[in-house]
Amino acid sequence: MRRIFLISTFCCFLYGCSLGPEKPDDQDVWLYANPSSSQLSDSLLLALNNNLEAKLYGNINSLVVIRKDKLLFENYYDESFRNRTKNLGQASMAVLITALDLLIRDGYIENIQQNIVTFLPEYQSIFNAEPDKELITIEHLLTNKSGLSWVQSNAFPDNLNDLSIMKLQSDWTEYVLSRPLEADPGLRYVPNSGAGVVLARVMENALIDTDLLTYLKEELFGRIDIDEVVWETDPSGTLDGGSGLSLMTLDLTKFGYLLLNGGRWKKARVISNEWIFEITKTTLKLDNTINAGYGWWRFADGVLDLETNDLFFADGGLGQQLYIIPHLEMVVAIHAENYSQGFFNSSTFIFLSVLASLEPNEN
């Protein structure tokens, strides 16, 4: 009895001497390393960091750089910090579209050629009023070719901007579907964040036994060690698939790292490689510089000085960007709040500065 007491006392002492039993409050995905260990210039990145601290690129919240399975650069600016979630803007739709693979895998959705009307019985009256809307498929939502009239541009005043008007409604899906058809579905490209809301509603209705956010947390975010997920909804409870997702920058980087590894996370398959190829391949050439995929974007050949143009990225509209460059084994995540700068914004130039820090024979 005395022996047990002594051993217990000793064990308590050992326990008390440790700093705490909790697991590291940290990521366990990448090794930490200095940029130079992965052929990036320390001095150039330090100069970039100084510029970011001096706000030369506007309101940049964070910059994370991963290369060759190592976390090389992670810093936060303008009162941001690692554990703060930040909105992804329109990059939310890229995440939602990527997650569509899970519903197809699990049989909730057969394929993206299915008409959305089959998933939206509660809006049958809208389809009845304009029967051609029944031709809209899931793929049309992914490619911004639904044919629905939509004014997205920030150049329009709020009262003429469909995005702003939609957000005043109680049911955003109803508002988007109620827009008149101005072209046959599949014919014309019109940027439409409302399509993300409709896609979220389609996915929500396709799920039989759970709600969409719970499903995504279990099947996607939870499997890639993302615990903190904030996804805004409209008043009716539908996820704002167009712009409502908020993640920590490091978690956004994890998502990019998943795609970099062809959909595998720590050797487990999460997203199919075929789907990643499908959504990131060029489906539309917007202009001489940018090509569009399903929610993902590519630079046109020759825009960047890269040996292989396999780069794809998600863009949030305010400088939130996630770049994946498979041949460089590199992910760059940026959170920012810079308004009205278009595709080539401050974040793009930050990314170009990161690329410029690569040793000459590395790109």
Residue numbers of the site for other proteins (CB under 8 A)?
Answer: 10, 13-22, 24-26, 31-32, 34-35, 42, 45-46, 49, 71-75, 81-82
Residue closer to other proteins (CB basis): 46 or 129:
46
Per DSSP bridges, beta strands 31-32 and 70-76 are parallel
Query: Please, what is the minimum distance in Å from the beta carbon of residue 269 to other proteins?
Result: 27
Query: Please, what is the minimum distance in Å from the beta carbon of residue 27 to other proteins?
Result: 8
Residue closer to other proteins (CB basis): 33 or 104:
33
Find the radius of gyration of the CA atoms of the chain.
Answer: 23
Query: Please, what is the minimum distance in Å from the beta carbon of residue 11 to other proteins?
Result: 10
Secondary element (H or E) of residue 124: helix 124-129
Residue closer to other proteins (CB basis): 82 or 217:
82
Six token digits for residue 178: 């109620």
Residue closer to other proteins (CB basis): 278 or 329:
329
Q: Is 67 helix (H, G, I), strand (E, B) or coil?
A: strand
Residue closer to other proteins (CB basis): 49 or 338:
49
Enumerate residues 6+ apart whose C-beta is below 8 A from 233. Answer: 239, 240, 244
Query: Please, what is the minimum distance in Å from the beta carbon of residue 263 to other proteins?
Result: 26
The answer to whether the beta carbons of residues 328 and 307 sit under 8 Å apart is: no
Residue closer to other proteins (CB basis): 32 or 277:
32
Query: Please, what is the minimum distance in Å from the beta carbon of residue 262 to other proteins?
Result: 26
Angle subtended by helix axes 42-53 and 346-356, to nearest 10: 160
Q: Is 206 helix (H, G, I), strand (E, B) or coil?
A: helix
CA atoms within 13 A on the CB side of 3: 0
CA atoms within 13 A on the CB side of 361: 0
DSSP state of 24: P
Query: Please, what is the minimum distance in Å from the beta carbon of residue 212 to other proteins?
Result: 33
